[in-house]
């Protein structure tokens, strides 16, 4: 895969962002644990995006020294991530680190994740809970099984091998900040990997020891495993078909067209020879159905391809604006 590695920049500006919703019990400790200095970078700034919390999360984060942006209501993890992404872009940061405010991740691991970006070894780094057997956290078997299934699907859609596609502890380098697109309201973790891989950026997983469960409370993003699965699949579908519309729709369309034509040709030849369609009338109807459906898929591919071109044009404008903001 072609790599799009960032140009080395001395003393990169780093923003460490914490998405938070009612995390007053842990947000302060996470912020306090963030390193004051990272080799090759300026002193990091800390941003907490308060997604409509009804407790004292925002006040505690502010007292701990974080910049706080509060949503008026709960908008979802995907929207919270985009708020952090927009802030990093508009304020000229070179690197964005995301770490949950619930205490599952150890902020002392931030330098280890940032290092590959600083050294120009990767554009995007994600912590991995499952890449080394001894680091797999204690968590319900159903969650481990579900995470592995999601990782396999993301690997297939992105074309790269990923073992942990749902971890929110990540580092976005300069190129990733310029080129990343995210649209899902519910979650963004799988979508981001597929998007960046599709754009040829270098992606690296770093094994990290993580708590299997939150120290306080329960997960809100995965409170319903079925809802999480459905909305995650919707996000992955949205980004996957946008990057390769003709492959996504075109291959199934060709297969259905061949099957439909084969069935109808069989019935047509039999009618020409015997003058009878029965007992294969159902085959003829099914063939027509498959041909019609394949044509619809080709139309979907054409529309998706047009939308993809428009999106790439918009992304190039955003990328240019991000570069200009860094130069200010």
Give 213: exposed, middle or buried? Use CB within 10 Å, 0-12, 13-18, 19+.
Answer: middle
- Tokens 């090759």: give the residue: 40
pTM: 0.76
Token pair in block for residue 297: 């898929």
Backbone angles phi and psi of 10, in degrees to 5? -75, 135
How far apart are alpha carbons 302 and 37 in whole angstroms?
Answer: 50
The residue ranges of the chain whose pLDDT is under 70 are 1-10, 214, 217-229, 231-243, 309
- Per-residue model confidence (pLDDT) at position 5: 44
Q: How far is CA 61 from CA 47, 71, 101, 145, 289, in A?
A: 9, 15, 10, 34, 59
Q: Is the dihedral of CA 134, 135, 140, 143 positive or negative?
A: negative
Give the C-alpha separation, 290 to 315, whole Å: 36
Query: Quick one: tokens of 284?
Result: 């003829």
Sheet with 45-50, side-by-side order of all strands: 67-70, 45-50, 14-20, 95-98, 170-172, 124-128, 203-207
Rounded CA-CA distance 32/14 in Å is 16
Distance separating alpha carbons of residues 18 and 13, to the nearest angstrom: 17
The pLDDT assigned to 84 comes to 96
- pLDDT the model gives residue 8: 45
Between the two ends of the chain, the Cα-to-Cα distance in Å is 33
pLDDT at 238: 64
Instruction: Quote the pLDDT of residue 328.
Output: 75
pLDDT at residue 1, as a whole number: 40
C-alpha span between 222 and 229 (Å, rounded): 9
Beta-bridged to residue 172, according to DSSP, are 96, 124
pLDDT value, residue 85 = 96
């Amino acid at each position: 895969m072609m790599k799009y590695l960032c140009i080395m920049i001395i003393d990169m500006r780093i923003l460490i962002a914490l998405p938070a919703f009612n995390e007053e019990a842990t947000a302060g400790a996470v912020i306090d644990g963030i390193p004051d200095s990272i080799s090759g970078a300026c002193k990091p700034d800390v941003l907490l995006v308060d997604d409509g919390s009804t407790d004292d999360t925002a006040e505690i984060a502010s007292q701990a020294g974080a910049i706080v942006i509060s949503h008026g209501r709960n908008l979802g993890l995907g929207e919270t991530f985009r708020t952090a992404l927009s802030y990093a872009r508009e304020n000229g940061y070179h690197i964005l680190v995301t770490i949950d405010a619930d205490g599952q991740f150890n902020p002392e691991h931030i330098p280890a994740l940032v290092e590959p970006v600083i050294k120009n070894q990767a554009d995007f780094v994600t912590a991995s809970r499952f890449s080394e057997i001894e680091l797999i956290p204690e968590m319900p078997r159903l969650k481990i099984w579900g995470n592995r299934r999601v990782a396999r699907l993301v690997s297939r859609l992105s074309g790269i091998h990923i073992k942990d596609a749902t971890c929110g502890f990540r580092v976005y380098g300069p190129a990733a900040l310029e080129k990343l697109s995210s649209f899902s309201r519910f979650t963004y973790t799988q979508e981001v990997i597929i998007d960046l891989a599709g754009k040829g950026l270098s992606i690296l997983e770093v094994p990290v020891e993580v708590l299997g469960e939150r120290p306080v409370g329960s997960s809100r993003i995965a409170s319903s495993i079925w809802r999480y699965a459905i909305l995650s699949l919707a996000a992955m579908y949205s980004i996957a078909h946008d990057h390769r519309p003709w492959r996504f729709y075109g291959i199934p369309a060709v297969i259905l067209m061949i099957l439909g034509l084969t069935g109808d040709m069989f019935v047509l030849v039999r009618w020409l020879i015997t003058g009878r369609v029965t007992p294969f009338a159902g085959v003829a109807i099914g063939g027509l159905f498959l041909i019609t459906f394949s044509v619809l898929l080709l139309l979907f591919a054409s529309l998706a391809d047009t939308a993809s071109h428009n999106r790439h044009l918009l992304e190039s404008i955003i990328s240019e604006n991000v570069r200009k903001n860094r130069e200010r």
